[in-house]
């Protein structure tokens, strides 16, 4: 025998089904994001030297990469400066090569 207090009305049944669908969707989305985050973290551990793992301890994904970015900014600036200097010197050599051809 059914208990009238535990039965759902048609509207209640619909709301329950929608809630289950929403939960299932949110759970799948969470699992997908967690899996992608794990893949990214694994790639990071493979790409970054062990000396820099301290950036990853007890930090979220965004904080990890912000810490790495902050740490690496001076190196990136130095690389850009070296590239500019090399470009300048190569252009100077090309000018001298042209002059040598006219002699």
Q: Are residues 67 and 39 in the same domain?
A: no
Q: Are residues 79 and 100 in the same domain?
A: yes
Q: Are residues 75 and 41 in the same domain?
A: no
Over residues 27-50, the pLDDT tens digits come to 999 999 888 878 877 877 787 777
Backbone torsion region of residue 58, taken as left when φ is above 0, otherwise alpha when ψ lies between -120 and 50, otherwise beta: left
Q: How many domains does the chain have?
A: 2
Residue 36 counted as domain residue: yes
Residue 53 counted as domain residue: no
Q: According to the model, what pLDDT value does residue 24 have?
A: 95
Residue 55 counted as domain residue: no
Q: According to the model, what pLDDT value does residue 47 have?
A: 75
Q: According to the model, what pLDDT value does residue 79 have?
A: 84
Residue 79 counted as domain residue: yes
Q: Quickly list DSSP for the chain.
A: ---TTTPPPHHHHHHHHHHHHHHHHHHHHHHHHHHHHHHHHHHHHHHS-GGGGGGTTT--HHHHHHHHHHHHHHHHHHHHHHHHHHHHHHHHHHHHHHHHHH-
Residue 16 counted as domain residue: yes
- Record the pTM: 0.42
Q: Are residues 98 and 65 in the same domain?
A: yes
Q: Are residues 103 and 64 in the same domain?
A: yes
Q: Are 41 and 61 in contact (CB under 8 A)?
A: yes
Structural domain including 75 reads 60-103
Q: Are residues 19 and 40 in the same domain?
A: yes
Residue 2 counted as domain residue: no
Give pLDDT < 50 ranges for the chain. 1
């Amino acid at each position: 025998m059914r208990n009238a207090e535990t039965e759902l009305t048609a509207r209640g049944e619909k709301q329950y089904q929608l809630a289950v669908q929403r939960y299932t969707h949110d759970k799948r989305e969470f699992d997908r994001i967690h899996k992608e985050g794990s893949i990214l973290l694994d790639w990071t551990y493979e790409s970054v030297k062990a000396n820099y793992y301290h950036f990853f301890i007890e930090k979220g994904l965004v904080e990890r990469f912000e810490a790495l970015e902050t740490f690496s900014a001076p190196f990136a600036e130095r690389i850009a400066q070296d590239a500019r200097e090399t470009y300048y010197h190569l252009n100077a050599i090309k000018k001298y090569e042209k002059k040598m051809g006219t002699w």
